[in-house]
Amino acid sequence: MRTIVITGGTDGIGRGLALRRLAEGERVVVLGSDPAKGARLLQEAVRLGAGERAGFVQADLGSVARSRAVAAELAAAHPAVDALVLGAYRYNPARVRTAEGFEQTFALYVLSRHLLAEGLRGSLERAAGTPVILSLCGVGGIKAGTIRWDDLQREREPYRAGRVTMQGARANDLLGVSFAERHAGGRTRYVLYNPGFVATGMTQSLRRPMRGLTKAAAALFAQPVDRAVGPIAALLDRPPAGPLSAFFRGRPVGLDRPEFDRANAARLHAALLSLLGEPALE
Ligand SMILES: NC(=O)c1ccc[n+]([C@@H]2O[C@H](COP(=O)([O-])OP(=O)(O)OC[C@H]3O[C@@H](n4cnc5c(N)ncnc54)[C@H](OP(=O)(O)O)[C@@H]3O)[C@@H](O)[C@H]2O)c1
């Protein structure tokens, strides 16, 4: 039985994927910050006859300490992990500074994804099949988004939710590049996946009138979660051969694009280690 860990597995795309994998007989551990959503997911798992294969870990992944701890707990509990899906994200209409002093979108979307991928790498490497990390992110030819190298947490400018989100998406691309470069001898594949516009509860955290407008647009243009999950599940079943790959709604994206620049990936990695107070070993 394969084991799949899904951050943001209590809602939206992550939840759809979790339920699908549970229905198919796999062991699934989902992470989310809201215990009520976790409980609902577990109830649904019981209804599917998969209660014993479902796990929920309550964790605010906007916390560096909690992300580190939960990665260590999961690694201890699951010596082998077949897939890690990084899907936790929240749109913050206003700037939020975490108790640890980080800008929350950056902490959740970038720092926590780095910590979970590194923290679970040992378990992934022990998987019987081909282990894979799949990051649900912003890759796929989207022009928006720049990385402000001298101000990664955008502290020296007025807060713009779209800007921090799109910078996070760019950074997620680079996390994949950096992981594949630094662990080139490993077995774990890294897949960057932009699902396109998907009808999820993500609109709930938007402010009016954006919330209403985005919901209306979603009703017209967004894919339902069930359809969006199909190509993601297929990639987990048959990860691409290369250490890094990128997709937009199931279609491959060339890795020669500027957003996958190796020097920028190394630069981001060095910046993250410095922010996290970790030694630069690699
Ligand atoms: N939907 C789209 O159109 C779209 C398009 C492109 C990319 N994506 C990407 O796909 C991923 C999933 O998006 P979605 O639309 O499915 O999102 P969603 O429905 O809003 O679900 C987000 C998930 O993240 C979890 N989460 C949020 N804050 C968290 C925190 N501090 N700690 C732990 N977990 C947290 C939520 O659980 P709790 O509420 O319990 O914390 C929830 O399970 C995201 O990375 C997003 O950037 C989505």
Q: Structural domain boundaries of the chain?
A: 3-276
**pLDDT computed for residue 141 by the predictor:** 64
Q: Pocket of ligand 1, candidates 17, 20, 33, 74: which has the most ligand atoms within 8 Å of its Cβ, to mutate?
A: 33
Residue ID of nearest Cα to ligand 1 atom 47: 137
Is the bond preceding 209 in cis, omega lying within 30 degrees of 0? yes
**119: Cβ below 6 Å to ligand 1?**
no
Q: Which residues of the chain have pLDDT under 50?
A: none
Phi and psi angles of residue 248, each rounded to the nearest 5 degrees, phi first: -120, 115
Q: Pocket of ligand 1, candidates 137, 175, 202: which has the most ligand atoms within 8 Å of its Cβ, to mutate?
A: 202
Lookup: tokens for 30: 């989902």
**pLDDT computed for residue 245 by the predictor:** 96
Chosen CATH of 3-276 out of 3.30.930.10, 3.60.21.10, 3.50.50.60, 3.40.50.720: 3.40.50.720
**pLDDT computed for residue 74 by the predictor:** 98
Instruction: Give the whole-angstrom CA distance, residue 237 versus residue 231.
Output: 10
**37: Cβ below 6 Å to ligand 1?**
yes
Instruction: Give the whole-angstrom CA distance, residue 184 versus residue 84.
Output: 18
86 CA distance to ligand 1 centroid (A)?
9
Distance set, CA 270 to CA 22, 263, 278 (Å) = 38, 11, 9
**Three-state SS at 207:** coil
**8: Cβ below 6 Å to ligand 1?**
yes
**pLDDT computed for residue 219 by the predictor:** 73
What is the CB-side half-sphere exposure of residue 164 using CA atoms within 13 A? 29
- Rg (Cα) of the chain, in Å, rounded? 18
Q: Percentage helix, strand, coil, to 5, in the chain?
A: 45, 15, 40
**202: Cβ below 6 Å to ligand 1?**
yes
Instruction: Give the whole-angstrom CA distance, residue 57 versus residue 110.
Output: 20
